[in-house]
Structure 1
Amino acid sequence: MSLFTHPEFDGHERVLFAHDPASGLKAIVAIHSTRLGPAAGGCRMWPYASEEEALADALRLSRGMTYKNAVAGLDLGGGKSVIIADPRTQKTPELLRAFGRAVHDLGGTYVTAEDVGVSVADMEIVREATPHVAGLETGAHASGDPSPVTARGVFEGMRKALLVATGSDDVAGRTIAVQGLGHVGRHLCALLHAAGARLVVSDIDPARVADAERAFDARAVAPDAIATVAADVFAPCALGGVLDDATIPRLKARIVAGAANNQLARPEHADALHARGILYVPDFALNAGGIINVAREIEGRTDAGWLTETLGAMVANIETILREAAERGVSPNGVAEAFARRRLA
């Protein structure tokens, strides 16, 4: 396993490998940048096939948080952590506390929160070992589950994409294909259904699919078929890497706008989408609602309007990025990355 020569290294400031034999903890904390403030990003628990796969995910997710926080206008850097474990069978309070001790050893340069495989309740246990945790249900500035705010940001950003691509931001009657019905995906479906969208959904969990069929009158398709559904918008809301050499030629959506992190398998896939005339809304710009919600807790903000104002600014930035890309005839991904780098500079 390489680090400094790793293709995803991208100048990370610090990478911590944490191991606790007593609890079985094997974790990686990646801090990409603290230029704008302490690195902030969630903790993902996943049964990675190898340590190399876990490292690559941590590095990519951490770098994405740097760009996400910069585009969202937050005074936070980028970081991410992954725990190599199956959250269904290997998650224990002892393991979570051991992870908390590892975070605490970083002295506040990294603030963690929930992500895939980790819940708000889990973060309460992590807090027993470190104060450098957010997205909590209790405490002076507790912000709770960030998923509804993430979904709201994706919904409003999706409307901006429709406006730029079609001239109307109305989702009523539009077909939206949603991949993944976890916390964010389900909240997004609720918003889209309430706005009159026609939903096509998929998930690896049959119970989640059945719930969406009942609650949102959604049409279900197999997980391997969702990307090929004829739709106005394809919304990836599961794990990353879904936009690759195999899926991009088969896409039948005009727009890709979803909540998943690292949707592009490789950076050049942004240009592949653009070449096909598909408008891709960069995931790190679109799914920042959750970290905005967490930032309110990290910064101890009490003004009620800050969250709405900051989320509105994020959505406005998305429209700016999409319109600049359209005017220049380029992929929005490069425009969004340049937007972030200007703020970092």
Structure 2
Amino acid sequence: MTAVFNHGEFDHHEQIVFAHDYKAGLQAIIGIHDTTLGPAAGGVRMSTYHTSDDALTDVLRLSRGMSYKNALAGLALGGGKAVLIGNPRTDKSPELLASLGKAINHLGGRYLAAEDVGMTVVDMEEIAGQTAHVFGRDPKAGYGGEPSPMTALGVLLSIQSCVKYTLGRNNLDGIRVAIQGAGAVGTDLARRLGEEGAQILIADVDPIRAQAAADKARGQVIGIDQVLSADVDVLAPCALGAVINDASIGSLRTKIVCGAANNQLSEPRHGVALAQRGILYAPDYVVNAGGIINVSYEVGGSYDSAKVIKHIQKIPQTLEAIFATSARESLPPDVVADKMAQRLIGRGTPP
């Protein structure tokens, strides 16, 4: 494995925990990037990885992104993330989740866990059997439950903001949107966009899931090899990260990239490349903050969905400030957002 301190994505993380339990089958990495604003909060992601280096890279990028996301969302939370190595369809067990809960508990509240890719509300309840530092739990117990609808709401509002900024439109009627990924967020986003009159194209590795999402939005299914090059107004990546890369960027036929996936830019230089092509990029960790905003209102023990929605409705204001600075300073939006977040956590200077 690459030496952690020399890793290209290390970025002065405060703490990295490698958790292993042979009997339970636990292999997990917890990254705590920054706790300047509060305890590190971020989801637990369960996924298979080709190598341990890939898992480490993922947790380092994701936890740093959570620091930036929480800062720009105005939350009293730092940034953290956990990756649980394994197939979420076949490798879960009560013993595995309990072991992860114990590892989280050993951190004494420095890391607050929530649901992410490959995990469910039921899984979070299993983890909660071993630690109080877990959220995204059952609404029947006074928690916020599945955060995907709130994430989708934030993405919808962000797309509306981008369309207004780029196209001068105050509505989405007839706007063509290609959604990559028909998971919980992508499906709910498609539904919301359809209700706003947008024309939806959606792709997913699971054609049945893609069709179900398209039906809810009165949209159309397209191939996964077509979605990134679709001739649309908005491309909404809502699946895996690093989809804006050397292979894809030249074939983009969209005016706006605005979606829920984390780490959409494979490398920082791809944000520059988008700007050079005249494509507006809405920084992903600003756009997809609805889920962690939802979780943040669980942390205080007084969850209120109305307050959550009111907070999420501030996301377009943040985007507007980023786009204004981007235009004024001739900097790509992702660079501006990074600088704003770094200033808030005491790691940089204003753009």
Q: TM-score, normalised by structure 1?
A: 0.97
**Are 1:160 and 2:161 an aligned pair?**
yes
Deviation at 1:9, TM superposition (A): 0.3
Q: Which segment is superposed worse, 220-229 or 57-66?
A: 220-229
- 8 Å contact 2:157–2:315 — kept in the other structure? no
Q: Secondary structure at the match of 2:31?
A: strand
Q: 2:62 and 2:12 mapped to 1: Cα distance?
A: 14
Question: How many pairs does the alignment contain?
Answer: 345
Indicate the larger mover: 52-61 or 160-169.
Answer: 160-169
1:197-218 deviations in Å (ceiling 9; x for gaps): 0011100111111212322222
Unpaired runs of at least 5, structure 1 = none
1:224-239 pair list within 5 angstroms: 224-239=225-240
Give the alignment's Cα RMSD to 1 decimal: 1.2
Matches within 5 A, 1:37-76: 37-76=38-77
Structure 2 unaligned residues grouped into runs of 5+ = 347-351
Q: Is the 8 A contact 2:180 2:237 kept in 1?
A: yes
Measure the CA separation in 2 of the matches of 1:112 and 1:287: 17
The answer to whether the 8 Å contact 1:171/1:196 transfers is yes
1:258 aligns with 2:259: yes
1:312 deviates by 2.0
Residues 304 and 232 of structure 1: CA distance in aligned 2, closer, same or farther (over 3 Å):
closer
Q: In 1, Cα distance between the equivalents of 2:179 and 2:223?
A: 12
Separation in structure 2 between the aligned mates of residue 135 and residue 152 of structure 1, nearest angstrom: 17
- 1:161/1:169 contact within 8 Å kept: no
- 3-state secondary structure, aligned to 2:46: strand
Match of 1:221 in 2: 222
Matched, 1:147 2:148: yes
Is the 8 Å Cα contact of residues 241 and 262 (structure 1) preserved in structure 2? Answer: yes
Instruction: Specify the SS of the correspondent of 1:264.
Output: coil
**Aligned sequence identity (%):** 46
1:302 Cα offset (Å): 4.7
Structure 1 SS opposite 2:246: coil
What is the DSSP-based 3-state SS (H/G/I as helix, E as strand, rest coil) of the residue aligned with 1:151?
helix
Q: Given the superposition, is the C-alpha separation of residues 286 and 304 from structure 1 closer, same or farther in structure 2, using an over 3 Å criterion?
A: closer
2:13 corresponds in structure 1 to 12
User: SS of the counterpart of 2:216?
Assistant: helix
Alpha-carbon displacement from aligned partner over 1:113-148 (angstroms, at most 9, x marks no partner): 111111111000000011100000146540111100
Provide the rounded CA distance (Å) in 2 between the counterparts of 1:304 and 1:29. Answer: 29
Deviates more, 1:319-328 or 1:80-89: 319-328
Which amino acid in structure 1 is aligned with residue 131 of structure 2?
Answer: T
CA deviation profile, 1:171-223 (whole Å, cap 9, x unmatched): 11010000001010001001000001001110011111121232222221111
CA distance in 1, matches of 2:87, 2:305: 38
Between the aligned partners of 1:7 and 1:169, the Cα distance in structure 2 is 41
For structure 1, which segment, 265-274 or 300-309, has the greater mean C-alpha deviation from structure 2 after superposition?
Answer: 300-309
Query: In structure 2, what residue type is equivalent to 1:186?
Result: T
TM-score (norm 2): 0.96
Quick one: distance in 2 between partners of 1:138 and 1:214? 28
- Offset, 1:304: 5.7
